[in-house]
Structure 1
Amino acid sequence: MDVTTLYSIGELSRRTGLSVRTIRFYSDSGVVAPTTRSPAGYRLYDLDALLRLELLCTLRELGMNLATIRRVLDRELSVAEVAAAHADAMDVQIRVLRLRQSVLRAAARSGSDPEEINLMYRLTRLSGEERRRLIDDFVEGTFGTTDADAAAVAMVRSATPDLPDDPSSEQIAAWMELAELVGDEDFRARMRRTAGRQAAGRGLGIESDAGEELMDVTRRKVAAAMESGVDPLSDRAAPVIDDLIHRFAEAFARTPDTQFRNWMARQFEEAHDPLVDRYWRLVWLVNGWQVVPNLLPVYPWLIQALRKDRDA
C-alpha cells in the first residue's frame, strides 16, 4: 500500500479539528477504524476513513447521536432518512423554544411571579387534544349533555379556542385568561344565560319596543364612538349617551333620569354580559382571527356608559 495515501492520527486531528483523544475513541469504538498500522504500531487511516470522520463531525454538529451516525456510516440508514427524522425532531424543539420565549415575554409584560409562570408554562404545554378537552369540559359543564341548548352548544363549539404551536405572548396571555374563565362557575352561569339567547336569535324587549329606527341610530352612534376610541367612562362619551337616553325616554314616554338610565342598562345587560363578550374577544385573539371594529358588539360599550353614573 502506498503510504502517501495514509494519514496518522495526528494528521486526522489537524484536518478535522478533532482532538487525538476523540479520534482514538471513535477508532476504538469501531466507528472509524484504522486502515492499517505503521511498522512502529501507530494507527494509519486512508482517505475513506478521513471522509467518514468528516461526515461524522457534520452529523454530530447536526445533533445526531453516535449510534445513529454509525448506522449511517455502515449504510444501514441513508442520510436522507436520518435527515428527515432529525428535521422533524428539530421542528418540535423549535416549537418548544418559541413557546418558552412567548411565555417569558408574557411573564415579563405582566410581571408574573414564579407560581404564575409555572402555571402559564404548564397550561400552554398542554397538547391540542388536552386543550380541546378543557373546552369540552367547559361546554358540558355549562350546557349539560342534553339537546336543550343545542344551538348554544353549536355556537360555542364552532369557535373553539385553538392555541397555535408557536403562540405570541398576547395569545398566551389570552389563553391563560380563557383557561381561568372557563373554570369559573359564575361565568358558566352567565354564559348559559347569554349564549342561549344569542344562539336562538331572540331579540331584547327593549329592541322591539324602541323600534328598528331608534335601534339603528343607537348602533351607528355607539359604533362611531368605539371606532373613534371613545372610552365609555370618559367625558367624551357623555354627549353620545345623553342623546340616546333622551331618545329612548321619548320613545318610552319616560323621564330621562338616573332611574331610567339604570333601567336601560339592565335591559341591554339581559343579552350582552360584558364577561361573555370578553370570552369571545379572547377566543378571537387565541385563534388569531382579525378583530373587525364594525363587527364588535356595541352593547358592552353602551352598558358601561349607562352604568357610569349608577351611584349618582
Structure 2
Amino acid sequence: MLGDVNIGELSRLTGLPVKTIRYYSDVGLVPEAERSHANYRRYDHSSLVRLEFVRTLRELGLDIATIRRVLDNGVDLASVAAAHAEAISVQIRVLRLRRAALRAVARRDPSPSEVERMTRIAQASADERRRIVDEFFDSIFADLPTASSEEAAKFAEMMRSASPDLPDDPTDEQVDAWIELASLLREPSFRARLREMGRRSFGPSASPRSVPTDMSDISWFTDHVAAAMDRGVTPEDPAAAAVVAEVTARWTAACDRADDAPYRAELIEGLELAIDPRAERYWQLMAVINDWPPIPTTTHRWTWFLSALKAHS
C-alpha cells in the first residue's frame, strides 16, 4: 500500500508530468489526500488509483467534464463508454473515407474540381448516396416504356433492387469501390450507352431477342469460348468458325430464331453495343460494395467471340 507521497514522487510513479497532476488536482479530478505543514500536496494510494483511472479515461478521449461526472457518479461509465465508442466509430469512418479520397487522388492525378467531387462522393451520407444512385437509374430508364411493358418494368425493378448499399462500417476496399462506382454512374457516355441498350431491348422497335438470358447458357458460352482461347485459337482461325457455329446454334434454339445472315448481322450489332468493360466493372464494383461473391472478368471472352463472329459470318 502506497504511503503519502508528494506530487514529484507521484509523477515518477505514474509517468505523468507534475503539471498534469497539478491540473487534475486543481479541477477536482484527483484531489490530494492532505497538505503538508509547508502546504505541499500529499497523495495516498487512493489518489494513485484515481489518477491512473483518470489517465485511462483521458487516453480513451473522454473530456474533463465527462470524467468528473463519472467520478462523481453523476453518469454511468458503461453508458459513457458506449457513447464514446460510437463517436469514435464515426470518426474512424470519416477518416477512412478521407483516406480513400486521398488514395483516389493519388491514383488519378485529378484536377482541383475533380478532387472536390471525389471528396464529396467519398464522404456522402447514406441519403446522398441513395440520391446519386436513384438519379442514375432515373436517367437510364427515362425513355423505357415501363408503364406499358411488363418486361421493361421488371428489368428496371431488378436493377434498382440490386443497387449498391455501402455498410455503416465499410472496408477500405468498399470505400474505394464506392468512389469508383459513383464516378462511373456520372459518366454521360456510359449512361447514353445503357439508355440505347434499353431502347433496343424494350423500346417500341425492339428486335427479337438474339442472346438467351438463362445464366446456364451464358456460363456455357464463356466456358466454351475460354476453352478455345486457352487452346490458342484466334478469332481469324478456321477453328473459330466451329466455335461460332456451336454458339449461334445454341442461342438461336434458345431464342427460337434461325441462324441465318440477318440473325448474325443483328447479333453483331447488338454485341457491339453491349460489350463495354464499364458494364462489367459496374457489377464488379457492386459485388465489392454489397459483399457479394467476386464477379470474374469475361469481357475479353465476348470480345473474342465478336471478332470471330465478324470473321466467319
TM-score of the superposition, structure 1-length normalised?
A: 0.72
Comparing 10-19 with 178-187, which one deviates more in the overlay? 178-187
Aligned counterpart for 2:121 among listed residues 105, 120, 123: 123
Percent of aligned pairs sharing the same letter: 39
**Would the alpha carbon gap of residues 89 and 66 (structure 1) be closer, same or farther in structure 2, given more than 3 Å must change?**
same
Matched with 1:152 is 155
How far residue 143 of structure 1 moved from its aligned partner, in angstroms, is 2.3
How far residue 17 of structure 1 moved from its aligned partner, in angstroms, is 1.5
**Would the alpha carbon gap of residues 189 and 207 (structure 1) be closer, same or farther in structure 2, given more than 3 Å must change?**
same
Q: Work out whether residues 8 and 42 of structure 1, in 8 Å CA contact, stay in contact via their aligned partners in 2.
A: yes
State the distance in 2 between where 1:29 and 1:194 align: 70
Q: Work out whether residues 204 and 267 of structure 1, in 8 Å CA contact, stay in contact via their aligned partners in 2.
A: no
Matched with 1:178 is 181
The aligned runs of 1:207-286 (5 Å cut-off) are 220-226=220-226, 230=229, 236-239=234-237, 241-245=240-244, 252=259, 254=261, 264-269=267-272, 272=274, 274=276, 275-286=278-289
Comparing 77-86 with 276-285, which one deviates more in the overlay? 276-285
How far residue 137 of structure 1 moved from its aligned partner, in angstroms, is 1.4
Q: Work out whether residues 265 and 303 of structure 1, in 8 Å CA contact, stay in contact via their aligned partners in 2.
A: no
Q: Deviations over 1:31-69 (max 9, x none)?
A: 222232212221223333222212111111122111111
The aligned amino acid for 1:289 is W
The aligned amino acid for 1:159 is A
Q: Work out whether residues 152 and 195 of structure 1, in 8 Å CA contact, stay in contact via their aligned partners in 2.
A: no
Matched with 1:142 is 140
Q: Work out whether residues 245 and 261 of structure 1, in 8 Å CA contact, stay in contact via their aligned partners in 2.
A: no
The aligned amino acid for 1:243 is A
Matched with 2:109 is 112
* Alignment of 1:305 onto 2:310: no
State the distance in 2 between where 1:16 and 1:85 align: 28
RMSD: 4.2
State the distance in 1 between where 2:13 and 2:191 align: 68
Aligned counterpart for 1:40 among listed residues 38, 41, 45: 38
Matched with 1:92 is 90
State the distance in 1 between where 2:14 and 2:241 align: 81
Aligned counterpart for 1:82 among listed residues 71, 80, 83: 80
State the distance in 1 between where 2:267 and 2:200 align: 18
State the distance in 2 between where 1:98 and 1:238 align: 49
Matched with 1:168 is 172
State the distance in 1 between where 2:137 and 2:159 align: 8
Matched with 1:194 is 197
How far residue 131 of structure 1 moved from its aligned partner, in angstroms, is 0.6
**Would the alpha carbon gap of residues 198 and 14 (structure 1) be closer, same or farther in structure 2, given more than 3 Å must change?**
farther
User: SS at the partner of 1:236?
Assistant: coil
**Would the alpha carbon gap of residues 57 and 176 (structure 1) be closer, same or farther in structure 2, given more than 3 Å must change?**
closer
TM-score of the superposition, structure 2-length normalised?
A: 0.72
State the distance in 2 between where 1:207 and 1:193 align: 17
User: SS at the partner of 2:234?
Assistant: helix
Q: Work out whether residues 3 and 44 of structure 2, in 8 Å CA contact, stay in contact via their aligned partners in 1.
A: yes
The aligned amino acid for 1:125 is Q
Which structure 2 segments of 5+ residues have no match? 250-257
**Would the alpha carbon gap of residues 289 and 297 (structure 1) be closer, same or farther in structure 2, given more than 3 Å must change?**
farther
**Would the alpha carbon gap of residues 58 and 293 (structure 1) be closer, same or farther in structure 2, given more than 3 Å must change?**
closer
How far residue 92 of structure 1 moved from its aligned partner, in angstroms, is 2.2
How far residue 180 of structure 1 moved from its aligned partner, in angstroms, is 2.7
**Would the alpha carbon gap of residues 45 and 204 (structure 1) be closer, same or farther in structure 2, given more than 3 Å must change?**
same
Q: Deviations over 1:164-197 (max 9, x none)?
A: 432334x445433432332344433432343477
Which structure 1 segments of 5+ residues have no match? none
